[in-house]
Amino acid sequence: MTGLLSLEQRLILRLTLIAIAAVLIQVTAVSQITIFRATADVLPLVCAAVGLLLGSTSGAAFGFGLGLLTDTASYETVGLSSLAYLGVGFAAGRMRELRDPQAPSTPMVAGAAATFVVIAATGIMRFLLGMGLPLSPALLREVASMLVLNALISLPIFGLVRRLLAPVSPDDPPRRRRSYTTGGLSPLTRV
């Protein structure tokens, strides 16, 4: 069957299976486990990993689909998670394209940032839709412990996503092209 599908089709198929598996694992298993009064959320980590590995366009598309699956599986308002994960996937992809981070701590930093962005964005959108914003010291402690927990589990999640996408990922993901060496001005404007 793999001989019948192109590389792009195999990549889309793998991304779809990763999204479905991540949502099912999050909803059925990971959300039920509490460690230090915090529950891990693997979805922002998976979204950030796809963005870091494949670029901004693929990360944004994956994030949008992941958010739709998440909202549908958890009976939430459809679209809130899609917007948050779209932003996370795009931002992680742009970080890859602009900086090409190679530090070993990149997945941890990206995972913690992705988790914070998802929590903040969904909270703000809920508030703007009139669903309320229950800010309390207990909630802030839970968010802080969730950020630490997600930062710790981001390395194995990133490694797993990289291993799953390695056979079908493009050889050279899109990167930022350097501007002209003439100080950023086009040679055509120096007339």
CATH number for the domain that contains residue 72: 1.10.1760
In a domain, 2, yes or no: no
In a domain, 1, yes or no: no
- Report the domain count for the chain: 1
Residue 38's φ and ψ, nearest 5 degrees, are -130, 150
Residue the block writes with tokens 């990922």 = 169
Which residue range(s) make up the domain with 150? 7-169
Residue the block writes with tokens 């002209």 = 180
In degrees, rounded to 5, the angle at the alpha carbon of residue 93 between the alpha carbons of residues 122 and 95 is: 100
For 132-169, how does the pLDDT look when each residue is reduced to its tens digit (9 = 90+)? Answer: 777 778 778 888 888 998 899 999 999 999 999 988 88
In a domain, 90, yes or no: yes
In a domain, 183, yes or no: no
Paired tokens of 160? 């797993």
The pLDDT assigned to 49 comes to 94
The model's confidence at residue 5, banded by pLDDT at 50, 70 and 90, is: confident
For 17-74, how does the pLDDT look when each residue is reduced to its tens digit (9 = 90+)? Answer: 999 999 999 999 888 888 877 888 899 999 999 999 998 999 999 999 999 999 888 8
The model's confidence at residue 75, banded by pLDDT at 50, 70 and 90, is: confident
In a domain, 179, yes or no: no
In a domain, 175, yes or no: no
Cα–Cα dist 173/53, whole Å: 8
The pLDDT assigned to 191 comes to 47
